[in-house]
Amino acid sequence: MARVRRFDGGYSQTRLGPYRTMQKHGLNYEEALALANEWFNQPETIAIASQPYSVGVNSVLNYSKTESRFTVGDAMHSFVEWKRISAARTYFETTLSLINHHIIPRLGHLPVEELSQPVFTQFCIDILETAPKRGRGNVEARVRLEDIDHERLRKRKKTLNTVIGLLRTAIEMSWENGDVDSELYWRRLRRVPHADTPRQFFLTRAQAKRLIATCRPDLAVLVQGALYTGCRVSELARLKARDVGGHVFGIYVEPMKSYRGRYVVLPNEGMTFFLDQVEALDDEDLVFKMSSGRSWSGCHKHLFKEAVRRAGLPEGFVFHGLRHTYASQLVQAGTPLAMVAKQLGHTNTDTVSRTYGHLCCDGLENEISRRFAPLQIAVRDPRLKRLRDTLQNKAEPQWSWPRKNRSKASGELVSLLRKREDELR
């Protein structure tokens, strides 16, 4: 298939021909690409096609100085330039995207000293009520704070706190550099109270096997790689043959979200799997590739979604859930959180503890059961086994505010959020 984006934001596509397989005659990738280019260059196709986007990720701050006073945009410019040389590329690109989407359009030309509490409160409400941006697609309609459901509100607050952190750090750097004269400009930008939802669904081994069986062969191999290592799909897509079994009984994962690479230790079964994948490869060859020979670059999503549907798994289960499955299985088996964090590439156990700490209850339950002196004669209760079997499938809790937190946030925004949370309860 060949497809073009139209001026109205929709798409038009055409069928080029059958895909070449071992049994049938058809088109290979190069032949299909040549036919696609012919179709793209036809006058009727050019007449409806929109202008192409620039190749690659935007690396420029969408701000030009027009004020004589020091603005939020000026603070963000200094911050972005520092991150450009100090942060990992993927982190820098994500940070710049958040700044260009949320901060610059709303506060870019505002002098820092005019960033008052009412202005900041409205800025936070705007972010909470704005739908998340997904690629270059059309943004969904804005939803009032009073009408946001609990799960969307939880996710929007997480995004809001990330944006507040960027804004606060940029202005703090400006104060340290002498561009603004008061530390109050950044100290009064408080994050909103927020609680991460513990990870409560992950695949059992039976579900994982069923998922692998429903994947097409090249995707099945990629899924197995994720289940053996807990790696992100982007890390697996960049894995080369030389990274397998080099210095440890496992693989080396190149740095992605930070400057730190890591080694992931594998069990015997996992090591055998990876050695099988690289047996006929050169050192610089990619371990995981599509059946067409191309590298995996986001095209796994719709294939994985179809496999999830065929396997009878929850509709919302995505590839990143395999990473959660890996971590959850280790934690449930009693692996120390520090070791799990090291395997996942986290700098400390905070994220692992917040996300998977509740799964440590298995070890605690065993200790309590073993050491508790019974009050009555032990009777086998079938309800206990049924409860243990169904605990994993419990729905996520219907709350997002912690009972206690260290945040000292206050003001109009917090009042509105607390009112909305009370209504949701």
pLDDT digits (tens, 9 = 90+) for 34-89: 999 999 999 999 888 888 776 667 788 999 887 788 999 999 999 999 999 888 78
CATH superfamily, domain at 205-371? Intergrase catalytic core (1.10.443.10)
Query: Exposed, middle or buried by CB within 10 Å (0-12, 13-18, 19+), for 339?
Result: middle
Instruction: Dump pLDDT digits (tens) for 304-351.
Output: 999 999 999 988 888 988 988 888 888 877 778 788 888 888 777 666
Q: What is the mean pLDDT of the chain?
A: 81
Q: Residue 308's CB: how many other CB atoms inside 10 A?
A: 20
More confident residue, 403 or 293: 293
pTM, rounded to two decimals: 0.62
Residue 107 has pLDDT above 70, yes or no: yes
Question: Which amino acid type is present at position 222?
Answer: L
Phi, psi of 106 (to 5 degrees): -95, -35
Contact 112, 121 (CB under 8 A): no
- Tell me which of 2.40.10, 3.30.70, 1.10.3210, 1.10.150 is the CATH number of domain 72-187: 1.10.150
% pLDDT > 90, the chain: 34
Q: What whole-number distance in Å separates Cα of residue 12 and Cα of residue 194?
A: 43
Cα four-point dihedral sign 67, 68, 69, 70:
positive
DSSP letters for 373-411: PPSS-----HHHHHHHHHGGGPPPPS--S-SS-S----S
Residue spans of the domains in the chain: they are 2-48, 72-187, 205-371
How far is the first Cα of the chain from the last one, in angstroms, to the nearest whole number? 48
Contact 83, 95 (CB under 8 A): yes
Residue 129 has pLDDT above 60, yes or no: yes
The confidence score (pLDDT) of residue 74 equals: 94
Tell me which H or E stretch contains 389: helix 382-390
The confidence score (pLDDT) of residue 336 equals: 81
Cα four-point dihedral sign 139, 141, 144, 145:
negative
Q: Residue 303's CB: how many other CB atoms inside 10 A?
A: 17
Contact 244, 275 (CB under 8 A): yes
More confident residue, 401 or 14: 14
